Amino acid sequence: MTPTPAAGPVQRSAHRAEALAARLPALLVAAQRVAATVAQGVHGRRRPGAGDAFWQFRPFLQGDPTTRIDWRQSAKADRAFVREREWATAQSVYLWRDASASMRWSSALVAEEKRARAELLLLALAALLLRGGERVRLLGAEMPALSGQAGLEHLAEALLAEPDGGSGLPPDAVVIRHSRVVLIGDFLAPLEEIAASIGRLAAVPASGHVLQVLDPAEIDLPYHGRVRFLGLEAEAETLVPRVEHVRAEYDRRLAAQIRGLGEVCTGAGFSASLHRTADSPETALLSLYMALAA
């Protein structure tokens, strides 16, 4: 699917995500034994209801709308029949990506900002889910669950319309029970705050996956000499006389952060993975796919 020349930014990002998602089969989130509160989807419930697959013909009863009469079947007999379809349910997946200022950054080593990569992965994942008939919604956004092919563009629109900001942690939003949550961000905030935030989600209960997106410069600290570091979220400046001398300590701190995030997630029933923006997005998408399909 190639973008048409007249496509706006929404269509472009949607198309890009589609192109990325085109390499994977449709994603059916591993079905959970969930209550009937789950909206209809493609998970067959072995009973009549709203769905696409044929289930049975039954005689027309008083009160059925006449438009539901299957005339081809009715013509074979004296009675009128109604076609019933199997009741299928859909799984709702909540998606979230970090929109804080620290995501709007890329080092000289890569061309793409962390936020752009996070949104690409989010949309690609959404494309896979929508293709599988699942319903997706943005965590914390005031919008209904989206489904079908048109849902992807609505999602991209909502992503682009959302202003920068936020604390870098998932918002404290209402989540339907037993739904899946996918969180994408850099997760450089203090571990206690991250644990609190994910713990709230786990208490609903909800489970899912945390994808940490980091710039290679954040992992390797490739600077030399006397450097004055400035933050993006109003942090205090830090003057480092010789960067070479603090690199080992930085590596240690970063490793502790990544390890701590993994522990927090495991404790809350989430899975976690790390993605460097220098790597190709396919690998990250594949890890997301595996984590959700499991």
Partner 1 sequence: MIFAAPAVLLALAALPLLWWLLRVTPPAPRRQIFPAIRLLAGLDPVEQEAARTPWWLLALRMLAAALVIIGLARPVFDARPALPGSGPMLLVIDDGWASAASWPRVLAAGDAALDRLARTGRPAALLGTARTDDGMAPSPSAVMPPAELRARLAVLRPKPWPVDRAAAAAALRAWKAGPGRVATGTGAAVYLGDGIDAPGAAEFAAALGAIGAVTEVRPDGADLGAERLLLAPREAGGALVAVVARVPVAGFSPPARVLAQSSDGRSLAEAVIEFPPGAASAAAPLALPPELRNELGQLVLAGTASAGAHWLLDERWRRRPVGLLAGDAIGAGTPLLGELYYLRRALNPYAELREGSLETLLARPLAVLVLADRVIPDGGEAERLERWVEQGGTLIRFAGPRLAEHPDGLLPVGLLAGDRALGGALSWSKPAHLAPFPAGSPFAGLAVPEEVSVTRQVLAEPRPDLARHAWAGLTDGTPLVTAATRGAGRIVLFHVSANADWSNLALSGLFVDMLRRLVALSAGIAAESESGPQPPALTLDGFGALGPPPVAALPLAGEAFAHTEVSPRHPPGLYGPEASRRALNLGAALGPLAASAPIAGAAEEPLGAAAPERALGPWLIAAALALFILDLLVSLGLRGVLRRGAVAAALALLLVLPPAPPGPHAAERYPSLAIHLAYVVTGDDGVDQISRAGLLGLSDYVNQRTAAVLAEPVAVAPGRDDLSLYPLLYWPILADAPLPPADALAALNDYMAHGGIILIDTRGGAGGSGEDFNPGVDAVLAGLGKALSVPPLAPLTTEHVLARAFYLLRDFPGRYVGAPVWVQRQQDRANDSVSPVIIGANDWASAWAVDAEGHNPYAVIPGGAHQRLLAYRFGVNLVMYALTGNYKGDQVHVPAILERLGQ
- Least Å from the CB of residue 225 to partner 1: 7
CB 50 to partner 1: min, Å: 46
Looking at beta carbons only, is 163 or 241 nearer to partner 1?
241
- Comparing CB distances to partner 1, the nearer of 92 and 100 is 100
Nearest one of 157, 154, 156, 187 to 170, comparing CA atoms? 187
Contacting partner 1 within 199-218 (CB under 8 A): 215, 217-218
Cis ω before 241 (30° cut-off from 0): no
Angle between helices 9-21 and 150-161 (to 10 degrees): 120
In the complex, the smallest distance separating the C-beta of residue 28 from partner 1, rounded to whole angstroms, is: 36
Distance CA 289, CA 59 (A): 43
Shortest Å distance, C-beta 235 to partner 1: 5
- Smallest gap from Cβ 113 to partner 1, in A, equals 10
Helix (H, G, I), strand (E, B) or coil at 164: coil
252 Cβ neighbours under 8 A, 6+ residues apart: none
Looking at the DSSP bridge assignments, the partners of residue 271 are 209
**Residue closer to partner 1, measured from CB, 166 or 208:** 166
Give the three-state DSSP class for 282. Answer: helix
User: Are the beta carbons of 23 and 31 closer than 8 angstroms?
Assistant: no
Contact 180, 269 (CB under 8 A): no
- Asked if 60 touches partner 1 (CB under 8 A), the answer is no
Stretch of 5-13, 83-91, 193-201, 253-261 contacting partner 1, by CB under 8 A: 253-261
Beta bridge pairs of residue 270: 208
Please report whether residue 249 would count as binding partner 1 according to CB under 8 A.
Answer: yes
Among 149, 238, 280, 283, binds partner 1 (CB under 8 A): 238
Cβ proximity of 2 and 15 under 8 Å: yes
Choose which of 253, 279, 283, 290 interacts with partner 1 (CB under 8 A): 253
- The answer to whether 226 contacts partner 1 (rule: CB under 8 A) is yes
Distance CA 193, CA 240 (A): 27
Instruction: Please tell me whether residue 277 adopts helix, strand or coil conformation.
Output: coil
45 versus 247: smaller Cβ distance to partner 1: 247
Q: Which span (51-59, 80-88, 118-126, 220-228) binds partner 1, by CB under 8 A? A: 220-228
Torsion sign, CA atoms 104, 105, 111, 112: negative
Contacts with partner 1 in 101-130 (CB under 8 A)? Answer: 102-103, 105, 114
CA-CA distance, 142 to 168, in Å (whole number)? 19
Which one, 110 or 254, has the nearer CB to partner 1? 254
**What's at 181, amino acid-wise?**
V
| 197 touches partner 1 by CB under 8 A | no
Instruction: Pick from 240, 258, 274, 293 the residue near partner 1 by CB under 8 A.
Output: 240
Judged by the rule CB under 8 A, the positions of this chain that interact with partner 1 are 102-103, 105, 114, 186, 188-190, 215, 217-218, 223, 225-233, 235-236, 238-242, 245-246, 249-250, 253-254, 257
